[in-house]
């Protein structure tokens, strides 16, 4: 499984500004409302099986949660059950993003 640190994701987004990866945030709506990475799409973890039907399994997709645990579980499911190949876990989640990239981001 590929993983990016928050700093690596920021650099990757900057380098691929014309063709960014899909950012999928698997937290709950109330969490997303508090903070999220700009451009990310909210798909709560429980909705992933249905949402996956509309996703490209080969598209570069960064999966995001609070600390990187739920996103890790989602990636394992998508890779093992649905043969997704372009997935990247954000290690440390939005908490790491707030610490390393955007210190002004609200945290919880």
Rounded to the nearest 5 degrees, what angle is found at the Cα of 56, between the Cα atoms of 51 and 57?
95
pLDDT in tens, 19-70: 999 999 999 999 999 999 999 999 999 999 999 999 999 999 999 999 999 9
Cα gap 29→27, rounded to integer Å: 7
pLDDT in tens, 77-98: 999 999 999 999 999 999 999 9
Residue 106 forms part of a structural domain = no
- Is 55 contained in some domain? yes
- Judge whether 35 counts as a catalytic residue: no
Domain count, the chain: 1
Asked if residue 20 is part of any domain, the answer here is yes
Q: Which CATH number characterizes residue 33's domain?
A: 3.40.250.10
Please identify which of the residues 24, 64, 65, 94 carries the catalytic annotation: 65
């Amino acid at each position: 499984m590929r993983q990016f640190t928050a700093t690596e994701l920021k650099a990757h987004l900057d380098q691929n500004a014309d063709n960014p990866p899909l950012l999928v945030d698997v937290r709950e709506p109330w969490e997303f409302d508090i903070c999220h990475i700009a451009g990310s799409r909210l798909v709560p973890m429980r909705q992933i099986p249905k949402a996956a039907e509309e996703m490209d399994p080969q598209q570069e997709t960064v999966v995001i949660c609070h600390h990187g645990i739920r996103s890790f579980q989602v990636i394992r499911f998508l890779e093992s059950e649905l043969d997704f190949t372009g997935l990247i876990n954000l290690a440390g989640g939005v908490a790491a993003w707030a610490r390393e990239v955007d210190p002004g981001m609200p945290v919880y």
